[in-house]
Amino acid sequence: MKKQNLGFGLGLRTDHFHHVIEHKPKVDWFEIISENYMVGGGKPRHYLETIRQDYPIVMHGVSMSIGSTDPLNMDYLKSLRTLAAEVQPAWISDHLCFTTIGGVNSHDLLPMPYTQEALKHVVERIKIVQDFLGRQMLLENASSYLTYQSDEMSEWEFINQICQQADCLMLFDVNNIYVSARNHGFDPMEYVQAVDPNRVQQIHLAGHTDYGDYVIDTHDHPVCDPVWQLYKETIKLMGPVSTMIERDDNIPVFAELEKELDHARALSQSALVARNLGANT
């Protein structure tokens, strides 16, 4: 079951703590990187405690390693559950990928082979995690730079099956779809059209770096036009979805991100109009 639509949010970054507390900007919600707050105390925890009085928070993790053949890291899951009890997020997300193998953490979102074996493995683990956390979780589609020989289905078939079989939700990263489409030569619209809209709880928008023959998901640029276009098509198809902009590097002043977020609002608005008109004809 999808939760409420939070509107338009931003990733909460250290550089903007003071600005957010002082100016209480018109942002509907913030997403935090869970791992950055899994410390005893100090500045980030202190600021988060203040900011969460005024804004809904969602938690986004990078270390669950849900697709790994290593055992689930129960210490990590306990820290995540403890943090969630304190932060009371609207929801918790991580990525459809593996990060740790043989105890070595790559600190990267490594792509899964899209096989029946991997599907079964991920579904089992999500069920365990959801039981442990006592809530449904969101899985995000990661960008990828390679395709496995062993693939038996497309990424969107794989992710649809996971959401259905594990009864989890999806964090739909429009930029990652664009990046992967460019890197693997598929039509991103095919992906957008295939995903079950009833599972899409949240959208990520971000910038990337274009190397011509391939694209890298760097989160250090403004969102580019083709990604905006794809976002508009996504909303047209899916209806309103909580949307946010991820910026992790080369972080600009807050006002610049607000401007980008306003653009997302406007695009979503016009996409919804088009959607309603389409429905009436």
Partner 1 sequence: MADLKTIQQAFIDLLQGKPSNMASHVQNQAPVTTNTRLGIYQNAYISRLRETIDSDHPMLGTYLGDDLFDQMVPAYIKQYPSSYPSLRDFCQHIPQFLQNNPPFNAHPILAELAAFEQILINAFDAADADAIGPEILGTIAPDNWPTMKLRFRPCVQRFQANWNSVQSWQMLKQEKQPPPPKQLETPALWILWRNTQRLTEFKSMGPDEAMLLDVALKGGDFADMCDELLNFHGEDEVAMRALTILQQWIGIGLIGDIRF
For partner 1, the binding residue among 8, 98, 158, 172 (CB under 8 A) is 98
Q: Does 204 bind Fe ion (CB under 5 A)?
A: yes
Residue among 84, 61, 85 at smallest CA distance from 73: 61
Tokens 């996409």 belong to 271
Q: With binding defined as CB under 8 A, does residue 93 bind partner 1?
A: no
Angle at 81 between CA 80 and CA 86, to 5 degrees: 95
Cα separations in angstroms, 236 against 155, 193, 211, 270: 22, 10, 30, 9
Instruction: Select 204 or 208, whichever has its Cβ closest to Fe ion.
Output: 204
Q: Would you count residue 153 as binding partner 1 (CB under 8 A)?
A: no
Q: Could you say which of Fe ion, partner 1, none residue 165 binds, taking C-beta under 5 to 8 angstroms by partner kind?
A: none
Q: Which of 51, 173, 188, 268 binds Fe ion (CB under 5 A)?
A: 173
Tell me the sheet residues that pair with 58. 31
CB of 279 to partner 1, least distance (A): 38
Which residue from 183, 202, 242, 243 is in contact with partner 1, where contact means CB under 8 A?
Answer: 183
Residues 6 or more apart whose CB falls under 8 angstroms from that of 94 comprise 60, 61, 62, 63, 64, 66, 137, 138, 139, 140
C-alpha distances out from residue 49 to 74, 222, 267, Å: 25, 29, 32
Binding mask 14-53 for partner 1 (x = CB under 8 A): ---------------------xx-xxxxxx-xx-------
Q: Which residues in this chain contact partner 1 in the complex, by CB under 8 A?
A: 35-36, 38-43, 45-46, 63, 67-69, 73, 76, 79, 98, 100-108, 110, 112-113, 115, 117-118, 121, 145-151, 183-185, 213-214, 216
Q: Which residues in this chain contact Fe ion in the complex, by CB under 5 A?
A: 173, 204
